[in-house]
Amino acid sequence: MFMINGTAAAFVNEPFTDFSQEENKSAMKAALNKVKQQLGREYPLHIGSDRVMTEAKERSINPGKVSEVIGLVSKASINEADRAMAAALQTFDTWKKVPPTERAEYLFKAAELMRQRKHEFSAWMVLEAGKNWAEADADTAEAIDFMEFYAREMVRLSAINIHQPLTKINGEVNRLTYIPLGVGVVIPPWNFPLAICVGMTTAAVVSGNTVLLKPASTTPVIAAKFVELMQEVGLPQGVINFIPGNGSEIGDYLTSHPKVRFISFTGSKEVGLRINKRAAETADGQIWIKRVVAEMGGKDGIVVDETADLDQAAAAIVASAFGFQGQKCSAGSRAIIVEDVYDTVLDNVLELTSKLKSGLPEENFAVGPVIDQKSYDKILEYMEIGKNEGYLVAGGSKAEGNGYYLQPTIIADVYPKARIMQEEIFGPVLAVAKAKDWKEAIEIFNDTEFGLTGSFFSKNEARISEALQEMHCGNLYINRKCTGALVGVHPFGGFNMSGTDSKAGGHDYLLLFTQAKLTSRKI
């Protein structure tokens, strides 16, 4: 079904759902109603073949309706983390020997089941993560894409294992094969609680590794649903061990564990650097250098020169800044506009922003809540900082609703070294800066410790050519928004403090979870 003459069929991105069609609206509403009937349930840890209910629970709530409990998820202590490590180590001995094409087949099957239940998975994100329908649908589509893409990549790599074009030498048969690393810790974020969780986890396991999956504390139910799906397709027990828990307890413990071979992390710069530091310290009994794959956020920006399509640029700025309330590592939280068109673009941005309505994600409002009280308080603090660093032209305060709602906020005339131009806010706050010309605009764009995504709007080919060389970020887009990377189309990962430039969804990604072994035989 998934293979043609022993080869995986060509990868094609999962299409997004058109919710302007009445049948798709009805299907989404039905999925939301179905999911609501399951709210408040308890979810166990998955440790090998055991399902473990612990007394301590993570209480997941709806950020758009804080009185609504999504689920209660068991929390692992160090004791359960040790048990999960033992299970993962034991399973690795057999899982690494499973043929790569067989490992890939589990991903193909899981992708097909998720495709059949696409709206149901999206509904969980609407309620647990506060995404509107389109944002949730894109998240689910990306999760499907990751499984489909990485399954094909494993098939491709297994073929290379047989036919790697090494230089030939008389009297020897030489072969380079890609073998798995061992047991890894996977720590996904809450903002793409399905797509990134699925991508990080399945890339590791299809490569032959076993994992300890520690989901984000604000979105553990979605992760539990993914783990249930992998069990449904028959993935051997112990390949994925599901252990939600406190990062300061089991996260630090596992990062320092001598048997952990790699850590795959997506989240904040601060936590990523902490993981990198702890992983670099060699524990007693450790016989390898741990590998860290980290994506740590950004302070992304959109540069607009005077030759650009100004309407197109304004639309991209608004979409990049306020999509999912600015809670994307790729979010365009800075707009840098040359002075000749600054006022025009700013006016267009303000007009488009004024049309954004906030409310319950399940009712599909354009703007929903931020994820939790901690984020809410932090973003409000940055709004106040911004009022002292520039000119408040939109928002700047709380929004109505029984949840963590904030107004889309725009601070104009911000100087390049301002905190809101330099620090990641991870919320609906846009800083707008004026540049004397396009070259200064690029200099301002580069003046940050991050380097994840960026956009350059211009009709001048010479300027575009220079921007392609000079704008320092992992994903640079020309005349389009800086969010919305597609698996296989836009391999994703950043420079500097944005992480290890891992390029998720690209042909190099699985190599991060493997090691190359050369065998040479004299004949």
Catalytic residue among 295, 306, 389, 424: 295
Q: Tell me: do 274 and 331 sit in the same domain.
A: no
Q: What pLDDT, on a 0 to 100 scale, did the predictor assign at position 162? A: 61
- What pLDDT, in 10s, does the model give residues 486-504? 999 999 999 999 999 999 9
Nearest CA-CA partner of 59 in 192, 215, 299, 221 = 221
65-74 vs 57-62, strand pairing mode? antiparallel
Q: Is the pLDDT of residue 414 over 80?
A: yes
Q: Is the pLDDT of residue 164 over 90?
A: no
Q: Is the dihedral of CA 104, 109, 112, 117 positive or negative?
A: negative
Q: Tell me: do 330 and 438 sit in the same domain.
A: yes
68 tagged catalytic: no
Nearest CA-CA partner of 64 in 399, 502, 289 = 399
Q: Is the pLDDT of residue 140 over 80?
A: yes
For the record, the structure tokens of 433 come out as 């800066």
pLDDT band at 163 (very low <50, low <70, confident <90, very high): low
Question: What percent of the chain stands above pLDDT 90?
Answer: 95
Separation between Cα atoms, residue 20 and residue 31, nearest integer Å = 17
Separation between Cα atoms, residue 334 and residue 312, nearest integer Å = 16
Nearest CA-CA partner of 87 in 122, 113, 115, 50 = 50
Q: Total domain count for the chain?
A: 2
Q: Is residue 19 part of a domain?
A: no
Q: Tell me: do 115 and 255 sit in the same domain.
A: yes
Q: Is the pLDDT of residue 160 over 90?
A: no
Q: What pLDDT, on a 0 to 100 scale, did the predictor assign at position 1? A: 46
Q: Tell me: do 237 and 317 sit in the same domain.
A: no
Query: Which helix H or strand E contains 240, and what residues bound it?
Result: strand 240-242
Q: Looking at residue 105, which CATH number applies to its domain?
A: 3.40.605.10
CB-hemisphere CA count at 13 Å for 232?
Answer: 13
* Residue ranges in 411-520 assigned as alpha helix (H): 419-422, 438-446, 461-470
Instruction: Count CB atoms within 10 A of the CB of residue 88.
Output: 27
Task: Decide: residue 521, CB within 10 A, 0-12 exposed, 13-18 middle, 19+ buried.
Answer: exposed
Q: Is the pLDDT of residue 512 over 90?
A: yes
Q: Is the pLDDT of residue 366 over 80?
A: yes
The answer to whether the beta carbons of residues 194 and 140 sit under 8 Å apart is yes
Q: Tell me: do 199 and 273 sit in the same domain.
A: yes
Question: What percent of the chain stands above pLDDT 70?
Answer: 98
Q: What pLDDT, on a 0 to 100 scale, did the predictor assign at position 106? A: 98
Separation between Cα atoms, residue 479 and residue 310, nearest integer Å = 10
Contact residues for 277 (Cβ-Cβ < 8 A; gap 6+): none
Q: Tell me: do 184 and 90 sit in the same domain.
A: yes
Query: Which helix H or strand E contains 154, and what residues bound it?
Result: helix 133-163
Query: Which helix H or strand E contains 181, and what residues bound it?
Result: none
Separation between Cα atoms, residue 165 and residue 42, nearest integer Å = 52
What average pLDDT does the structure give for the chain?
A: 96
> Which residue type sits at 458?
S
Tell how far CA 339 is from the center of its chain: 34
- What pLDDT, in 10s, does the model give residues 418-457? 999 999 999 999 999 999 999 999 999 999 999 999 999 9
Helix (H, G, I), strand (E, B) or coil at 212: strand
For the record, the structure tokens of 23 come out as 């049948």
Q: What pLDDT, on a 0 to 100 scale, did the predictor assign at position 71? A: 98
* Residue ranges in 302-341 assigned as alpha helix (H): 310-322
Q: Tell me: do 210 and 288 sit in the same domain.
A: yes
> Where in the sequence is the domain holding 236, given as residue range(s)?
26-296+501-522
Q: Tell me: do 286 and 308 sit in the same domain.
A: no
Q: Is residue 164 part of a domain?
A: yes
- What pLDDT, in 10s, does the model give residues 4-37? 455 668 999 999 999 999 999 999 999 999 999 9
Q: What is the 3-state secondary structure (H, E, C) of 269-303?
A: HHHHHHHHHHHHCCCCCCCCCCEEEEECCCCEEEE
Q: Is residue 58 part of a domain?
A: yes
User: CA-based diameter of the chain, in Å?
Assistant: 77
Q: Tell me: do 360 and 282 sit in the same domain.
A: no
What's the whole-number mean pLDDT along residues 172-179?
A: 91
pTM: 0.97
Nearest CA-CA partner of 52 in 177, 237, 199, 275 = 237
CB-hemisphere CA count at 13 Å for 281?
Answer: 13
Q: Tell me: do 44 and 132 sit in the same domain.
A: yes
Q: Tell me: do 513 and 444 sit in the same domain.
A: no
What's the whole-number mean pLDDT along residues 271-286?
A: 96
- What pLDDT, in 10s, does the model give residues 196-237? 999 999 999 999 999 999 999 999 999 999 999 999 999 999
Catalytic residue among 58, 80, 197, 329: 329
Q: Tell me: do 264 and 399 sit in the same domain.
A: no
Q: What pLDDT, on a 0 to 100 scale, did the predictor assign at position 5? A: 52
Q: Is the pLDDT of residue 154 over 50?
A: yes
Q: What pLDDT, on a 0 to 100 scale, did the predictor assign at position 247? A: 87
Q: What pLDDT, on a 0 to 100 scale, did the predictor assign at position 158? A: 87
Separation between Cα atoms, residue 221 and residue 97, nearest integer Å = 31
295 tagged catalytic: yes
